[in-house]
Amino acid sequence: MREYLLTLCITAAVTYLLTGPVRKFAIVAGAMPEIRARDVHREPTPRLGGIAMFFGLCAGLLVADHLPNLNAVFENSNEPRALLSGAALIWLIGVLDDKFEIDALIKLGGQMIAAGVMVMQGLTILWIPIPGVGTVSLTSGQGTLLTVALVVITINAVNFVDGLDGLAAGMVCIASAASFMYAYRIWYGYGIEAAAPATLFAAILMGMCLGFLPHNMHPARIFMGDSGSMLIGLVLAAGAISVTGQVDPAAMKLNFGGARDATHAMLPVFIPLLMPLTIIAIPFADLVLAIVRRTWNGKSPFAADRGHLHHRLLEIGHSHSRAVLIMYFWSALIAFGTVAYSVHSTSVWILLLIVALSALGLVLLLLPRFRPRTPRWAEAFVPPRYRRRRAEHVETETAPEESGTPVGPTPAPVPELSGATRLHGSTAVSERPRVRSHERE
């Protein structure tokens, strides 16, 4: 465990220290796209944060290769090299996209090539353990197609959810923590060495996300861009493929009493092949809904819009930070609930706890719908949105601390102006609208 923690900390430190210089490089390189209609942020923000994350990945693999116990992962398996090869390719494609905005189909082709490179070096699904049936061996072609599909789906699921400050990095960090717990249990709990690469991948991925998050939390100073979102999506998929397609349930039957019991015991980690990833169920659900929504409206599945889950949370009244925390909550509930169920699948208390936390999540989700009446003596201790006078007179207006409006006396009404607004430093200056010809008349 100490070597995993050391690898995690070094990965996080390298990522954190490099993100500042990378931000300056992105500004000089002009990787600061204009504000789009679907964007939530209000000022141009540099991208290319994936550069720091990639070098954090390289540092983590380099350190692990020189540690006494983790060095065995590199000697007995080619999976770390396969991961590095695929990650380097997908990272280069992401960097080009962050700078030059390459076509979506070209990115899709690059994702498939990166997945194929990993398959050629041995990181592939060899069999599918099916509960009640047993282990189903796959042919080379079947394993390749399933691996490529899983990698592409995971990469795009993470890329789709990268819409709010700190959202993608935090959700992937939660998913990798759950993956680490499960793979570590198989590796050291049952002595199955095939789970060692997945444990290492999860530890490095946690370090990459934790090192980048301080720079990416709201208000973000830098975005990871496609170079970061596709990179962490590929690393997350590689860990799921390693622990699912490489660990033979027959090796676990000595611990569970039979192949069928072993298959049932590993059920929570087989689900990623079918869903395809329970640990990123929220991003995957967002991906499916986005494809259905855009296709139904006659648009391309790759055409961006403002219909993602995080956009809907903002629309119903949640602040930026609270929307991110709600997404964190649901991701952690699904990911760690799956791990807990894999440990005690017969415990009723686990299911009851998950149901209770789900009910709590629904309450938090619908919180903007409720506006309780606060006694006048307690109004000084609650946010302005819950004060009686504000609820009576400005019911539809958002809270000052959430919308950025300063608290103070209500200014005199002024005529509503339309037109573009430019930001000079930290002061917003509105342009005087042009008077149309029919208005002059």
Tens digit of each residue's pLDDT (9 = 90 or more) over 177-186:
888 888 888 8
pLDDT of residue 113: 95
Which of 265-269, 288-292, 328-332 has maximum average pLDDT?
A: 328-332
Task: Tell me the sheet residues that pair with 134.
Answer: 130
Helix (H) or strand (E) holding 423: strand 421-424
Query: Of 282, 86, 81, 49, whose CA–CA distance to 175 is shortest?
Result: 282
Of 244-248, 333-337, 365-369, 407-411, least confident by mean pLDDT is: 407-411
pLDDT at 239 over 80: yes
28-42, 76-90, 232-246, 406-420: which has the highest mean pLDDT? Answer: 76-90
CA distances from 5 to 12, 55, 440 (A): 10, 18, 70
3-state secondary structure of 202: helix
Contact 9, 203 (CB under 8 A): no
Please give the structure tokens belonging to residue 336: 């760690």
User: Tokens 């080379």 correspond to what residue?
Assistant: 140
The predicted model scores a pTM of 0.73
pLDDT band at 317 (very low <50, low <70, confident <90, very high): low
Contact 337, 354 (CB under 8 A): yes
Query: Mean pLDDT lowest for which of 89-93, 122-126, 265-269, 283-287?
Result: 265-269
CA nearest neighbour of 171 among 179, 161, 180:
161
pLDDT bin (cut points 50, 70, 90) of residue 422 is very low
* Cα radius of gyration rounded to whole Å, the chain: 24
**At residue 210, does pLDDT exceed 90?**
yes
Contact between 63 and 107 (Cβ < 8 Å): no
Task: Tell the residue number behind the tokens 């033979």, with chain if given.
Answer: 248
